[in-house]
Amino acid sequence: MNRDDLSNKLIHFTKGERDDAIKTFHKILQERVLLGGAGNIDGGFKCVCFSESPISKLPHILADREYFEFPYAPLGIMVDKPWLFSRGGRPVIYQPKGEFDGLPLNIRWRHKTYDPIAGVDCTWEREWRIPIDTLPLDPQQMTVIVPDRRSVENFKTSHTSSTQAQIRGVLRYGTLSEANITDAVQDLPWHFIALEDLGVKVDW
């Protein structure tokens, strides 16, 4: 692939204001799962959604969040497109709302309303979906997108504190020392990419 407007990767971004998004994202990293949702999906289908927009194009989108009506935090999980495709993920079908009923029942979950005459145009998202309640994640096959290096350290610190607390809760009446608890905590197993290292300055 030799075009910079195409990508072999897909990114699932986390929604919400800063504090809520960070809390949700930490839970994703801890539980290693993405939950499907039916928001803004005609027919009430539950899906996990991704964007095919190349990471190299994020500076343009993030620099003008209001224009693009970008409702997401700069926190995401990036997966290989073949990985999602092999599990049933597909690009959405952009079309007028009136054409929804014309789709076969088994692919209506792919419908995304597109009507440039009425000012409805989200094609810049290049959305993909997978119709699923929960999508298990493998840290060895995925990359975590965060705004800056400080976020990387914050997530690692939060992971350590949370894991230590869980161990203390399980072994409240055991004999494991503080040193043993610290040794028992494994490093956060994800690979991170900080957008600031790609020249993307995110003010959020």
Is there a single domain that holds both residue 23 and residue 43? yes
Host domain of residue 178: 148-188
CB proximity list for 8: less than 8 A, separation 6 or greater = 1, 80, 81, 82
Are residues 88 and 51 part of one domain?
yes
Which structure tokens are listed for 129?
């979906």
Judge if 27 and 67 occupy the same domain: yes
Q: How far is CA 28 from the centre of its chain?
A: 9
Is the C-alpha dihedral spanning 78, 80, 82, 87 positive or negative? negative
43 to each of 39, 109, 111, 127, how far by Cα in Å? 10, 7, 9, 17
Domain membership of residue 31 (yes or no) is: yes
pLDDT tens digits for the chain (204 residues)?
Answer: 567 777 899 999 998 888 999 999 999 998 999 999 998 899 999 999 999 988 777 766 665 656 556 678 889 999 999 999 999 999 999 999 999 999 999 999 999 999 999 999 989 889 999 999 999 999 999 999 998 999 998 888 876 666 655 544 555 545 545 444 344 445 678 899 998 888 777 777
Classify 122 as helix, strand or coil: coil
- Which pair of structure tokens corresponds to residue 51? 């964007």
In terms of domains, do 116 and 179 share one?
no
Q: Which residues contact 54 (CB under 8 A, 6 or more apart)?
A: 4, 5, 6, 7, 9
Any domain includes 171: yes
pTM of the entire predicted model = 0.83
